[in-house]
Amino acid sequence: MNQIDGKSARALLLILSTFTYLLFGAMVFDKLESEEDTRVRDEIERITDRLKNKYNFSERDMHLFEAIAIKSIPQQAGYQWQFAGAFYFATVVITTVGYGHSAPSTSAGKLFCMVFALFGIPMGLVMFQSIGERVNTFIAYSLHKFRDSLHQQGFTCLQEVTPTHLLMVSLSIGFMVIVSGTYMFHTIEKWSIFDAYYFCMITFSTIGFGDLVPLQQADALQAKPLYVFATIMFILVGLAVFSACVNLLVLGFMASNADEVTAANREPPSAIVLERFARNSLVESQLFNIQKHSTVGVLPGRPRRMYSIVPNSAGDVHLRRRSTRRSIQDTVCCGCFKPRPPRYRFSLTRRPTNISHLVDLELY
Amino acid sequence: MNQIDGKSARALLLILSTFTYLLFGAMVFDKLESEEDTRVRDEIERITDRLKNKYNFSERDMHLFEAIAIKSIPQQAGYQWQFAGAFYFATVVITTVGYGHSAPSTSAGKLFCMVFALFGIPMGLVMFQSIGERVNTFIAYSLHKFRDSLHQQGFTCLQEVTPTHLLMVSLSIGFMVIVSGTYMFHTIEKWSIFDAYYFCMITFSTIGFGDLVPLQQADALQAKPLYVFATIMFILVGLAVFSACVNLLVLGFMASNADEVTAANREPPSAIVLERFARNSLVESQLFNIQKHSTVGVLPGRPRRMYSIVPNSAGDVHLRRRSTRRSIQDTVCCGCFKPRPPRYRFSLTRRPTNISHLVDLELY
């Protein structure tokens, strides 16, 4: 089976899995929501009939009133398009959350919104990735400092800092952001704890249904500038922290995908990512360069020099020490020597004088 | 300036740029939408007063009626949580579009929605990336076939297939998807052409305000199964095509970011990506392996064999032919030979018999 078929098969398998997953989700949602939906439907009909009878609406006025009620939703929440609201809206656009609590109604507004999103979303993505990377670097640095201080005090419980530790810390910070957000919205918006938590999850996944939207009560957009600031920062910081996690999980996956050819010779992707974060603060650039090369199968020096580097850097990086050493050994055998045993057999660096009469001068 | 400072500076610059961009967007949205907002606000107040006077509402009934009108929006559009609607909802969740035309109202529904999104969104992302990759491979293959047939007919207008061509074709397909979607929604939903186009853009950017949502009129979810299928496929196919574009643009960026160390020795990222797509269909795996390695500085064969490969594959790949050849030359000099010129001087593969008495037996 060649590479084309394998990849197409993978794509097909993914499509099938996704559709199965959607079918499964649809069945569960149907089961969970249909009953409540019917109940609300009946309730609405009952109340509408009662009001209709009480006030003797004409059908036309009835529809007019409905339309007015729907249009007045954002109006009741304060001025949606004055500066604070517009800034909130712009944030919701470039993060692709898109609550829809307000949406441009003029053609000019819609046109600008499309152009704004076209450039804003990539910019936002790059910013979040960049912040996520910095967060990860900082966590890796802190973890190593923490380990070193533990070792100095004689504790050896944290022998090595692995990518799993990094991810765990990232996720913990993300969880803390969600908890603080849940508390904030529970207190200020009077949502239940569960609803506030649900809101945070729907926001940070950038789904943003808009069934729960903060800053939509009691003219909050104009009356509570601090709360507006806190909400916008909550969305941006939360997405940055989750970018840090995605950075760890996805970047490794993407990197390993991009170089499938050399994948077999490589460290696990997560290890590469951690190494990348760790090296900035902990490993001398030169050392890392050589060690990095070694894992993809290049040896820019002599093997003896390679071996001497490992113990030097091991004190700092400590990344799957055994597998790194083995991969270097493999490389030494495969990368340069194994593919051309004939040359190795006749390379006699130690006794040049003995065979100098055999050497082609043009090779000098 | 070391790497840490540079990266932190980049992150800081991105944050500043993004906030400036948000400020700019907020000001423009304020300018464009505020006036219309005020007009609608006044209009609503006027009509509400008129209706209030006509029917002499109590304040309580007024609020009740508003609440009913708001709750009845999704009800009027048909059963949102029967199978078709639930499937549509599930699609909107895992694509992170999140129109919010319907959202779970029960706690069980909300809980399942969070779990469903947690696993569904990564799965969807991987699927879209995989399909996008396949689409790109197919486009690269078609472009090469097209060029070859042009050459056979004596036209030489398309000398080389570059990543720009690939991206242009991807974007054209994306544009065609948007045009057909715009036409479909314009005809069936009776939206204006501009609104239908705006809807497509807001959907494919996964913002999904929900100000315009298809399948919400005339019981479409239950009455028009074909239209439901077309809408869901439109969203999925559209996102897959745009993933193909993002794959071309972002993957190259990510890949180059992940291996900054070797970046200097590399082809431009976009070229790597095109090469990766092209090789699947056009270049023999073995040939590519060697050529691929050559660009990162590994030579798993003899130099003479390397050189002979370039003209072979050049007819097929045609990727910056000169720079590829140069990088191979560099590699031949640097990667294996420059670091140990002494060994090269005495490697005599052609006359083993002459020096067989000098060879260490243990090296055989």
Q: What's the mean pLDDT in A327-341?
A: 33
Domain contains B8:
yes
Residue A199 has pLDDT above 90, yes or no: yes
CB contact A44 to B (< 8 Å): yes
Same-domain check for residues A250 and A327: no
B355 and A355 in contact (C-beta within 8 Å)? yes
Same-domain check for residues B252 and B117: yes
Q: What is the C-alpha to C-alpha distance for residues B307 and A246, in angstroms, rounded to an integer?
A: 42
Task: Residue A322: name the closest of A153, A159, A156 by CA.
Answer: A159
Final residue belonging to a domain, choices A254, A282, A310: A282
**Lowest pLDDT segment from A286-290, B207-211, B260-264:** A286-290
Hey, which residues 185-204 in chain A have their CB within 8 Å of chain B? 194-195, 198, 201-202
Q: What's the mean pLDDT in A343-356?
A: 36
Percent of chain A with pLDDT over 70: 67
Residues of A with Cβ-Cβ distance to B46 under 8 angstroms:
none
**pLDDT tens digit sequence for A34-53:** 888 888 888 888 888 887 78
Name the helix (H) or strand (E) containing B173: helix B163-188
- Other C-beta atoms closer than 10 Å to the C-beta of A264 total 8
Q: What's the mean pLDDT in B30-48?
A: 86
CB contact A9 to B (< 8 Å): no
Q: Are B25 and A358 in contact (CB < 8 Å)?
A: no
Q: What is the C-alpha to C-alpha distance for residues A78 and A228, in angstroms, rounded to an integer?
A: 13
DSSP line for A54-121: HHT--HHHHHHHHHHHHHHHHHHT--SSSHHHHHHHHHHHHTT----SS---SHHHHHHHHHHHHHHH
**pLDDT tens digit sequence for A74-113:** 777 778 888 899 999 999 999 999 998 889 989 999 999 9
CB contact B281 to A (< 8 Å): yes
Which residues have C-beta within 8 Å of that of residue B341, sequence separation ≥ 6? none
Task: Residue B195: name the closest of B176, B214, B177 by CA.
Answer: B214
Same-domain check for residues B12 and B90: no
Hey, which residues 133-152 in chain B have their CB within 8 Å of chain A? 133-134, 137
Q: What's the mean pLDDT in B239-260?
A: 66
Which residue range forms the structural domain that includes residue A320? 285-347
Same-domain check for residues A307 and A223: no
Residue B291 has pLDDT above 60, yes or no: no
**pLDDT tens digit sequence for B129-162:** 888 888 888 888 898 888 888 888 888 777 777 7
Residues of B with Cβ-Cβ distance to A254 under 8 angstroms:
251, 254-255, 258
Residue B98 has pLDDT above 80, yes or no: yes
Choose from B65, B88, B251, B270 for mutation: most chain A CBs within 10 A: B65
Q: What is the C-alpha to C-alpha distance for residues B33 and B13, in angstroms, rounded to an integer?
A: 30
Task: Residue A205: name the closest of A161, A232, A257, A242 by CA.
Answer: A242
User: Between these two residues, B323 and B216, which has the higher pLDDT value?
Assistant: B216
A115-119, A138-142, B330-334, B336-340, range with greatest mean pLDDT: A115-119
Task: Grade residue B328 by pLDDT with cuts at 50, 70 and 90.
Answer: very low
Q: Are B18 and A123 in contact (CB < 8 Å)?
A: yes
Residue B287 has pLDDT above 90, yes or no: no
Domain contains A162:
yes
Domain contains A136:
yes
In chain B, which residue's Cα lies nearest the Cα of A104? Answer: B33
Number of folded domains that form chain A: 2
Nearest to B69 among A2, A70, A92 (CB): A70
CB contact B264 to A (< 8 Å): no
Residue B275 has pLDDT above 90, yes or no: no
Task: Grade residue B253 by pLDDT with cuts at 50, 70 and 90.
Answer: low
Q: Which residues of A202-237 are buried (b: 16+ CB within 10 A; e: fewer)?
A: bbbbbbbbbbbbbbbbeebbeebeebbebbbebbbb
DSSP line for A107-135: HHHHHHHHHHHHHHHHHHHHHHHHHHHHH
Give residue for tokens 């071996």: A307
Same-domain check for residues A263 and A302: no
**Residue B296, CA atoms < 13 Å, CB-side half-sphere:** 26
DSSP single-letter state for residue A265: G
Long-range contacts of B48-52 (CB under 8 A, 24+ apart): B48/A68, B48/A72, B51/A61, B51/A64, B51/A65, B51/A68
Domain contains A335:
yes
CB contact B302 to A (< 8 Å): yes
Dihedral (CA of B326, B327, B333, B337) sign: negative
Residues of B with Cβ-Cβ distance to A109 under 8 angstroms:
29, 32-33, 36
Same-domain check for residues B198 and B87: yes
Same-domain check for residues B29 and B123: no
Residue B237 has pLDDT above 50, yes or no: yes
Residues of A with Cβ-Cβ distance to B334 under 8 angstroms:
300
**Inter-chain contacts counted by CB atoms under 8 A, chains A and B:** 425
Structure tokens at B73: 């929006």
Q: What is the C-alpha to C-alpha distance for residues A232 and A95, in angstroms, rounded to an integer?
A: 11
Domain contains A90:
no
Helical segments of A153-284, H only: 163-188, 193-204, 220-223, 225-246, 252-258, 269-282
What separation in angstroms does the CA of A157 have from each of A35, A46, A149, A151, A161?
53, 66, 12, 9, 11
Residue A295 has pLDDT above 50, yes or no: no
Residues of B with Cβ-Cβ distance to A103 under 8 angstroms:
209-211
Q: What is the pLDDT of residue A254?
A: 53
Q: What is the pLDDT of residue B251?
A: 56
User: Between these two residues, A32 and B278, which has the higher pLDDT value?
Assistant: A32
Nearest to B98 among A34, A207, A334 (CB): A207
Final residue belonging to a domain, choices B226, B243, B261: B261
The alpha-carbon gap from A159 to the nearest alpha carbon of chain B, in Å, equals 26
- Chain center to CA of B304: 40
Q: What is the C-alpha to C-alpha distance for residues A159 and B295, in angstroms, rounded to an integer?
A: 37
Same-domain check for residues B107 and B38: no
Final residue belonging to a domain, choices A239, A266, A282: A282
DSSP single-letter state for residue A306: H
The alpha-carbon gap from B154 to the nearest alpha carbon of chain A, in Å, equals 31
Residues comprising chain A, all counted? 364
Q: What is the C-alpha to C-alpha distance for residues A292 and A295, in angstroms, rounded to an integer?
A: 5
CB contact A18 to B (< 8 Å): yes
DSSP line for B138-169: HHHHHHHHHHHHHHHTT--S-----HHHHHHH
DSSP line for B16-56: HHHHHHHHHHHHHHHHHHHHHHHHHHHHHHHHHHHHHHHHT
Phi-psi label, residue A92: left if phi above 0, alpha if psi -120 to 50, beta otherwise = alpha
Q: What is the C-alpha to C-alpha distance for residues A214 and A204, in angstroms, rounded to an integer?
A: 14
Same-domain check for residues A296 and A278: no
In chain B, which residue's Cα lies nearest the Cα of A341? Answer: B364
Q: What is the C-alpha to C-alpha distance for residues A363 and B346, in angstroms, rounded to an integer?
A: 9
Amino acid at A167: L
Choose from B123, B175, B298, B306 for mutation: most chain A CBs within 10 A: B298
Q: What is the pLDDT of residue A4?
A: 58
Q: What is the pLDDT of residue A253?
A: 57
CA angle A211, A214, A219 (to 5 degrees): 120
Same-domain check for residues B99 and B46: no
Q: Are A127 and B27 in contact (CB < 8 Å)?
A: no
Same-domain check for residues A269 and A296: no
Q: What's the mean pLDDT in B262-286?
A: 40
The alpha-carbon gap from A363 to the nearest alpha carbon of chain B, in Å, equals 6
Nearest to A251 among B23, B65, B254 (CB): B254
Task: Grade residue A221 by pLDDT with cuts at 50, 70 and 90.
Answer: confident
Same-domain check for residues A162 and A232: yes
In chain B, which residue's Cα lies nearest the Cα of A19? Answer: B91
Q: What is the C-alpha to C-alpha distance for residues B102 and B110, in angstroms, rounded to an integer?
A: 12
Domain contains B146:
yes
Domain contains B358:
no
Domain contains A207:
yes
Give residue for tokens 């996944």: A205
- Other C-beta atoms closer than 10 Å to the C-beta of B91 total 23
Crossing angle of the two packed helices A193-204 and B107-152, in degrees rounded to 10? 10
Residues of B with Cβ-Cβ distance to A100 under 8 angstroms:
99-100, 208-211
CATH number of the structural domain spanning residue B169: 1.10.287.70
Amino acid at B335: G
Q: What is the pLDDT of residue B193?
A: 95
CB contact B233 to A (< 8 Å): no
Choose from B21, B102, B207 for mutation: most chain A CBs within 10 A: B207
